[in-house]
């Protein structure tokens, strides 16, 4: 099974690390390996049909600011440069237009690829279109990572609580805001708390979706 990671920030790099660390588990549990054959950031991409080394491309990203040495003007150029089975879509969320994530998911499904995403924007804006597209092409569109961080909220609701009437939900709806508010409660200024959240990888460079409530909504 071959994967292409779209978006190589904190989440994309973490996914690459986990895939590398879990190779033996995947092989024993599912009878096949999961290999990352492509990765891209906002400017460049890198591909290898035989598989990329997660540590190597993460180190390249840290040293140069780019995941690879191939530049692209259209993401489809990168996605069509290597054969893969699963698109892992973790580009920054654009709640207004869906951003490149929306086009990436459309392209992957239309070309017979399964999609796993942590990108809320495309689903918030075009959920029915994308799920219909997945059904039309017989592909999976999985989005557990868009809600609740690492908690299996969607699967819990879909399978374990099937047939139950959910009357209310209580919880921390945005980890970034919770982090910032906790710091502010201790006397730290908002700007400093936000900067720390960005440094820790909780908040995006553009924190609008978090601090203005779009993510929670």
**Token pair for residue 122?**
């495309």
Give dist(CA 32, CA 25) in Å, integer.
10
Give dist(CA 38, CA 51) in Å, integer.
8
Give the confidence band of 203 by pLDDT, cuts at 50, 70, 90.
Answer: confident
Expressed in angstroms, the distance from the first to the final Cα of the chain is: 35
Give dist(CA 88, CA 148) in Å, integer.
18
| pLDDT reported for residue 23 | 93
Candidate ranges 62-66, 94-98, 155-159; pick with highest mean pLDDT: 62-66
Give the confidence band of 155 by pLDDT, cuts at 50, 70, 90.
Answer: confident
202 has pLDDT over 90: no
| Mean pLDDT on 26-37 | 94
With pLDDT > 70 as the criterion, what percentage of the chain qualifies? 99
DSSP string, 138-166: T--EE-GGGSSTTS-HHHIIIIITTT---
Sheet containing strand 35-40, edge to edge, reads: 70-71, 44-47, 35-40, 2-6, 86-89, 114-117, 141-142
The structural domains of the chain, ordered by start, are 2-148 (3.40.50.720), 175-210 (no CATH)
């Amino acid at each position: 099974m071959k994967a292409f990671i779209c978006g190589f920030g904190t989440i994309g790099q973490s996914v690459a690390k986990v895939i590398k660390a879990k190779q033996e588990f995947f092989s024993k549990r599912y009878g096949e390996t999961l290999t990352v054959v492509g990765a891209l950031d906002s400017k460049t991409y890198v591909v290898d049909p035989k598989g990329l080394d997660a540590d190597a491309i993460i180190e390249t990203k840290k040293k140069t600011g780019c995941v690879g040495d191939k530049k692209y003007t259209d993401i489809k150029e990168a996605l069509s440069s290597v054969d893969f089975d699963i698109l892992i879509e973790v580009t920054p969320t654009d709640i207004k237009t869906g951003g490149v994530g929306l086009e990436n998911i459309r392209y992957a499904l239309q070309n017979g690829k399964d999609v796993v995403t942590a990108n809320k924007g495309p689903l918030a804006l075009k959920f029915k279109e994308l799920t219909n597209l997945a059904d039309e092409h017989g592909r999976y569109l999985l989005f557990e990572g868009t809600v609740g961080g690492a908690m299996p909220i969607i699967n819990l609701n879909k399978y374990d609580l099937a047939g139950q009437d959910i009357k209310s939900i209580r919880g921390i709806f945005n980890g970034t805001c919770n982090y910032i508010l906790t710091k502010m409660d201790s006397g730290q200024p908002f700007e400093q708390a936000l900067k720390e959240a960005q440094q820790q990888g909780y908040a995006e460079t553009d924190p609008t979706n978090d601090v203005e409530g779009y993510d929670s909504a």
